[in-house]
Chain A
Amino acid sequence: MAALGYSGVLDAAASLPRHGGVTAGGSLPGHPFFGAMFLFVGALLVVEILAGPVWHRARWRTMLWPASLIVSGFGMLAVTAVQPDQKGLHLMLVVLLFIGGFFEARYRLGQITRTTADGFAIPALILGGFVIGPMHASGPITNPVALIHQFVGVVCWMLAGIRLMQYRWGSTAALDTTFGCGVMMLGLSLLLVQQFHGGH
């Protein structure tokens, strides 16, 4: 990367395709990588519940979830920089991802309570659902691509609902596992977006 230089990296990144499509140059789309990341981290959230304190024997495992949110934010920042359209929406997602990652990290470091972290996470999830779903989907509801985008938004709202239930009734293994499965579903929905967008 140092050899390419900053401008070289930007040029390479600028050859990324328009949103969800495939360029004539065969550059890489963004949706599936975010989807794979959320699928991966969601599975690890489920493993965290099953393993209990064994999972937290290593500090890096404890911080994996907030770190992945922050890394996603940087990834979305790159998407904002190179995508020619819908920059405002992508930038909004950047801010939401950073907020979620920052406050989740502070909770896991023992600096704030779950209630305080949820005070930021729940609105971020609700707003994220609006941004990804109704605001981002282009085309009629009968269009499979638009429908899948709406589904991604609905999954975000489901995650917000699970966090609300945890706030109201307290964390249980079942709710925490459901949240992890919901994050996996978010990843799967993003992979499905690519399935309908892209081709061979």
Chain B
Amino acid sequence: MSPQVRALLIGLIGPLVQAVGVAWDLLEHGVFNPGGLEQITLQHIVSGPAHLMMGVGMVLSLICIPIAVQVAAAQPEELELPLPSRPTEDEPLFEGRSEPAEAIEQWQP
């Protein structure tokens, strides 16, 4: 996957979550419970699932858009993660394999 495609997906995840929240809210207030508009309370505004989803999408956008810019500017080899070792026929099935903790250290600048 090219850096640009990754950046696009990263940048879109916040707006997508927001869009689902907006659609949910419109369905709830416009279709499933249109008469409930007169009974909206502060509690519903703050804790309504659709509203929270919109808020989450907004915060995701704030965090992910700068990441998307960095990813778009990165080289493809910078984005590849080190693959952990995979089991071979000689390794016992339930002994497990250790993903090297050093793999995380490789990501440190």
Contact = CB atoms under 8 A, between A and B. Distances in A.
Nearest to B36: A200
A50 B39 contact: no
B52 A35 contact: yes
Interface of A: 22, 26-29, 32-33, 35-36, 39-40, 43-44, 46-47, 50-57, 62, 107-115, 167-171, 173, 191-192, 194-195, 198-200
Contacts of B48: 32, 194, 198
B53 A39 contact: yes
B81 A114 contact: no
Nearest to B86: A170
Contacts of B39: 199-200
A51 B47 contact: no
Main secondary structure of the interface of A (DSSP, over half): helix
A52 B81 contact: yes
Interface of B: 1, 6, 9-10, 13-14, 17, 28, 33, 36, 39-44, 46-49, 52-53, 55-56, 59-60, 63-64, 67, 70-71, 74, 78-81, 83-87, 93, 96-102, 104-109
Given A29-B47, A56-B104, A200 B74 contact: no
Contacts, number: 134
A191 B99 contact: no
B6 A51 contact: yes
B78 A170 contact: no
Contact of A36 (B28, B55, B98): B55
B97 A170 contact: yes
A110 B78 contact: no
Nearest to B37: A200
Contacts of A57: 70, 107, 109
Contacts of A115: 96-99
Q: Which of A47, A62, A114 has the most CB of B within 10 A?
A: A47
Contact of B99 (A32, A39, A54, A113): A113
B40 to A, nearest CB: 6
B52 A52 contact: no
